[in-house]
Structure formats: C-alpha cells, structure tokens
A = this chain, B = another copy of it.
Amino acid sequence: MRGIVAGLLAALALAPAAFAQAPTSTPTGPLSIESQGSFFVGGRDIASEDLSTLPAYAPAGTITVDQMYVQYQIPAGGTAATPVVLIHGCCLTGTTWETTPDGRMGWAEYFTRRGQPTYVVDQVRRGRSAGDPSGVNAVRKGAPVERLPTVFSASHESAWAIFRFGTAFPQTFPDLQFPIEAQAEFWKQMVPDYLASMPTPNPTVPALAALAQKLQGAVLISHSQSGIYPFQTAALETKGVAGIISVEPGACPDAAGDLAPYRGIPIMVLFGDYVEQFPRWAPRLVACRAFVEKVNAAGGKASLVVLPDQGIRGNSHMLMQDRNNLQIAGMLVDWMKANVKR
C-alpha cells in the first residue's frame, strides 16, 4: 500500500501541472537596469615555482585559483524578485545564456526582462575564471608528463551527437529546433575543458553555495555537465538554494542515496527531444526519473519534464539556444512563480 501511494504521488509530481502551454512573446523595447556588474566568489592563493618560462615574468610566486566569475544584472524594480543563477555545461562558458548563435535573445536577458535578478557564472578554471599554468611549465622544465593538466575539447563532429543536433555528424533531425544554420557561431562558443583535472566536488560547487547564500536565496539553473552541481550545492548547504532547475543534466543524484537535502527544495529536471535515440542520454533520463520519483516519495516536490510529453518537439540538448528558447524560458518563469518561495 505504501508503495502504491508513493507511486501515485510520484506520478502526480511527474505531471507537469504548472508547466503552461501558452507560447511566450519576445519582450521588446528598452531594458531598464537597476544595477549590473561582475565579481568573483571563492578562490584560494597558491604558491608556484612554475608560473612562467619567459624572462619578463618571474617563475615563482603566488597566484589565485578556483575563484568563480559571476556577471549579473538586476532589472529596475527587480530587487525583491527571486534571483536566478545560470550555470553552463561542458566545454562552454557563460556565453551559453547570452545571444543565441543566430542572434536572438538568450535566457540571461529574458529572465532579466521578466523581472528576475540574473547571475551568469563561468565555471572554475574556464572562461573568465582563472586556470593555472604550473603543470605545463613544470613539464616544459623537465617534470614528468603526468604533471600536465587533463584537458579536452569536444570536436564539432563528436559534439554533434552529444548536443543532439542529429544522430551523427552532419545529419540533422528534420524538425530540429536548434538553429543549425548558425552552427559556426556556436562552435566559437566552445572552449577547452579542465574538468577532469579537478577534485570532486568541483570547486564551482562550494562557490555556488557561497553565491546562493550571498543572494539570500536563488534558483540554480544548471545545464548538462553542471546539471548535478545544484544538487551537490544543496548537499553541501541547503541554505540559499531556493530552487533547482536542472536542464538536461549529465547526472541526477543517486536515487538510492541520501535524499534529505532535496526534500525541501522545489526541483525541476528538464529534457528536450530525441533522448531515447541516444545511448549517452537515454540512461540519464531513466536515472533522473528514478531520482524524481524517490524524492517525491520521500516528501519532496520535484518534477521531471520531458518536452515532447508536453507536445513540444524538436528540442536539442542546447534548448536555451533553440528557436523556441523563450517559450521554454517563459514556462520556467511560470514554474518559479508557482513553486519557489524565496
């Protein structure tokens, strides 16, 4: 009986009652900004003997690493609204949320225009968040190659199926919402990724915890590789985590693990189209579904939204850049208004 009730509750929670169908029109006209700027969260000083091999710069000294870059805009009248923190995924930076590759409005501006203070981060050791040249310079000076950082770039060809533009490069789905004609601009957004050189949890996670507390409550919106970070942040410290929207996460928390940190937080896990066709993605959806069910069975309020189940088709893994990106963002705003109490 207990199992049946839990199953019913889970089914209800999975129903996308708060996920409205009406398309959202693009906001236009001048945008009124109360304040904007950037700052860093986290960071630690390290001593190194290998900062440089050039005569103009000393090899030994102190640098600061593991800080997280945060760029923000607070719309006029928006100081009381719930802030959103936008966290990009693998091989990308905060540009993910800015202008789309084909020149349309991104989610960062959209949330701002809808009245929410918006914070865009660059993950630690990526983009405007500093790296460390010590490993490269040590090897140049004779240290074993194991000192080199583990770094990779996703090629256009391999990213194709990861981002679900099509099943294999360069094939595309006929109803694909991603603006594939602007793919050249999208490739320019990609950067080398040092993730595998870093400890678990990634230093981005405690930085997100510090940011969420600084903001006195924020909805953490993650994507792909960073999909798990808001959950790891809540496991570290629930204070400040007013909500979690995990867009196409690379992983959800283990459904068999400790779910206590997540029970009090409104959670949405969001997937686009074609997931079942990809061996990389299909098991992630299955695992996230199990997580959402278990959290709800434990008294939480989590939703799993798979867009085709809502009649919304053709969305890629980069759904914040898809042609219907603002329709989806509008649905998220509605969900936050209905579910998030800061």
Q: Which residues of B contact A109 (CB under 8 A)?
A: 36-37
Of the residues B130, B150, B152, contact of A190 by C-beta under 8 Å? B130
Q: Which residues in chain A, 155-197, are within 8 Å of chain B measured between CB atoms?
A: 155-158, 184-185, 187-192, 196
Q: Which residues of B contact A237 (CB under 8 A)?
A: none
CB-CB nearest in chain B for A37: B99
Cβ contact within 8 Å between B153 and A43: no
Q: How far is the CA of A152 from the CA of B50 in the complex (A)?
A: 8
Q: How far is the CA of A109 from the CA of B158 in the complex (A)?
A: 39
Asked whether any CB of chain B lies closer than 8 Å to the CB of A284, the reply is no
Q: Which residues in chain A, 51-99, are within 8 Å of chain B measured between CB atoms?
A: 51-54, 57-58, 60-64, 67, 69, 71, 76, 93-95, 98-99
Mark contacts of A253-287 with chain B using CB atoms, 8 A cut-off: 1 yes-contact digit, 0 otherwise: 00000000000000000000000000000000000
Q: Which residues of B contact A210 (CB under 8 A)?
A: none
Of the residues B58, B127, B187, contact of A64 by C-beta under 8 Å? B187
Q: Which residues of B contact A51 (CB under 8 A)?
A: 152-155
Cβ contact within 8 Å between B30 and A131: no
Q: How far is the CA of A122 from the CA of B191 in the complex (A)?
A: 13
CB-CB nearest in chain B for A160: B61
Asked whether any CB of chain B lies closer than 8 Å to the CB of A136, the reply is yes
Of the residues B37, B40, B62, contact of A155 by C-beta under 8 Å? B62
Q: Which residues of B contact A203 (CB under 8 A)?
A: none
Of the residues B40, B63, B128, B158, contact of A127 by C-beta under 8 Å? B128
Nearest Cβ in chain B — how far from A240, in angstroms? 21
Q: Contacts A64-B187, A158-B57 hold; do A152 and B127 have CB atoms under 8 A apart?
A: no
Q: How far is the CA of A51 from the CA of B91 in the complex (A)?
A: 12
Nearest Cβ in chain B — how far from A109, in angstroms? 7
Q: How far is the CA of A132 from the CA of B149 in the complex (A)?
A: 13
Asked whether any CB of chain B lies closer than 8 Å to the CB of A249, the reply is no
Cβ contact within 8 Å between B69 and A95: yes
Cβ contact within 8 Å between B37 and A106: yes
Cβ contact within 8 Å between B71 and A152: no
Q: Contacts A98-B37, A152-B133 hold; do A158 and B61 have CB atoms under 8 A apart?
A: yes
Q: Which residues of B contact A140 (CB under 8 A)?
A: 145, 148
Cβ contact within 8 Å between B139 and A128: no
Cβ contact within 8 Å between B152 and A54: yes
Asked whether any CB of chain B lies closer than 8 Å to the CB of A340, the reply is no
Q: A53-B152, A61-B157 are in contact. List 4 more A-B contacts (CB 8 A).
A: A39-B185, A131-B192, A133-B152, A139-B145
A interface, CB within 8 angstroms of B: 30-34, 36-40, 43, 45, 48, 51-54, 57-58, 60-64, 67, 69, 71, 76, 93-95, 98-99, 103, 105-106, 109, 122, 127-128, 130-133, 136-137, 139-140, 145, 148-158, 184-185, 187-192, 196
Please provide the 10 A-B residue pairs with the shortest distance between their CB atoms, ordered closest to farther.
A61-B155, A37-B99, A52-B152, A40-B188, A67-B188, A58-B158, A30-B76, A64-B187, A133-B151, A38-B98
